[in-house]
Chain A
């Protein structure tokens, strides 16, 4: 379980996050949604420790990550898997080396076992025969899959995905969403996905936190997200014409 308590963050005097609190339960796919510039990615970066909040704390199963010692932070970081918006694959490494990288750096696993593990992870995300390819030689959707494979290779307890659908076609987007949901259920991870994609919201949102101008305006799940009375959330959810038409009916 990940708990965030009263997270506040400003850049150059401009408040980006204002008193955000929430709880992301185990084995749930939780979403942080909102329009562009509402602070979703900054909140995710505060949660994973890439940005230090001005005040507030993040707790991983009761362990204080924000104000904890370097040892505690390192221990928690090694239980995380992160899929970045642009996949963040290392350009100079092949797909196989990218996925193997966390194993090389953080484990003393024998080479054969590492190979077995990366082949399992690549197969799990639906990729085969791409081991020797460079990131520049594969498509955007494949990069996301490699990113997910690298994120899960250490069997993390917590999985974070920053805009996993950005730059993907609708069909690939849905496949990536389904993959994240399946992996979360299969490995019993606590997953947080930052997105503004309504398909994701309706497909995998077991817990949804809606941000607007740096504030949490609503929280709920994908069953209640379309029936809220919060105007800003409705404007966001029903921005799509198809959903507006469905709402009218």
Chain B
């Protein structure tokens, strides 16, 4: 019902374009730093820990980067990035809308005859759908590069072996799979957080509670969807 209400009594298209750009900057550009840091370190840690576990001399060293690549594309880049974003973006959406609700800013929109759900929430969801895949792609690159830095600087793998590994046995479908996951996660995070924030009642305490609920529910739904998508698209 909440999602349906966004498509009634909508505003001019140009208004949404501007709002989507504004939201994309808030959700996307402002998240680049945290996504970059998290992704680089996850790639680095994955490389070091994979090397630590590959003790058999029969397994070639380039397997390390092959594992880093597949783990990054299949799981770490889309899922970990989106879990991080559910904290950053989810709490920001829920907190922002919750504050607007308790300070009557949403009521102010409604009395002007503006569909507040459509004006405030729809651009956030569209912006998330556009920006999350970009952040996931960035995360994938940085994670693999983080693995490269950690592996070569500590000497567990040579640059040539690392490059050879990430080019070996590549399954192209893994990339669209990661992007599909990021789109689904974006929708879940943005819509759940917006719902929690939009229907906040009370005061500052309740805004905090809405943010917490938004993050918790978003994380759980991302992990659940992660399993379902893996089962659906990779299960056979």
Contacts and interface: CB of A to CB of B under 8 A. Distances in A.
Contacts of B8: 70
Nearest to A80: B111
Interface residues of B, number: 16
Contacts of A80: 111-112
Interface string A91-120: 100000000001011100000000000000
A88 B104 contact: yes
A40 B235 CA distance: 60
Most A C-beta atoms less than 10 A away, residue of B99, B111, B114:
B111
A193 to B, nearest CB: 15
Contact of A105 (B15, B103, B110): B15
Given A70-B9, A105-B11, A105-B15, A88 B107 contact: yes
Interface in A40-79: 45, 48-50, 70, 73-75, 77-78
A91 B21 CA distance: 19
B168 interface: no
Contacts, number: 52
How many residues of A sit at the interface, in one of the four size bands? 20 to 34
A151 to B, nearest CB: 9
Interface in B113-157: 113-114
A52 to B, nearest CB: 12
B105 A77 contact: no
A90 interface: yes
Contacts of B112: 77-78, 80, 102, 105-106
B32 interface: no
A49 B15 CA distance: 24
Nearest to A76: B113
A88 B108 contact: yes
A218 interface: no
B108 A82 contact: yes
A77 B113 CA distance: 5
Contacts of A91: 99-100, 103, 105
A89 B100 CA distance: 9
B114 A105 contact: yes
Contacts of B9: 70, 74
A48 B15 contact: no
A74 B113 contact: yes
B108 A78 contact: no
Nearest to A70: B9
B6 to A, nearest CB: 15
A175 B220 CA distance: 53
Contacts of B11: 105
A86 interface: yes
A90 B109 CA distance: 10
B105 A50 contact: no
A59 B236 CA distance: 63
A78 B110 CA distance: 10
Interface string B4-40: 0000110100010000000000000000000000000
A84 interface: yes
B210 to A, nearest CB: 17
A97 to B, nearest CB: 12
A49 B114 CA distance: 12
A60 to B, nearest CB: 13
A222 interface: no
Interface of A: 45, 48-50, 70, 73-75, 77-78, 80, 82, 84-86, 88-91, 102, 104-106, 160
8 contacts: A75-B113, A78-B113, A82-B108, A88-B108, A91-B100, A102-B112, A104-B15, A105-B15
Q: Which 8 A-B pairs have the closest CB atoms?
A: A77-B113, A88-B104, A88-B108, A84-B104, A74-B113, A82-B111, A78-B113, A88-B105
Given A50-B107, A70-B8, A80-B112, 7 more contacts: A75-B113, A84-B108, A86-B104, A88-B104, A89-B105, A104-B15, A160-B111
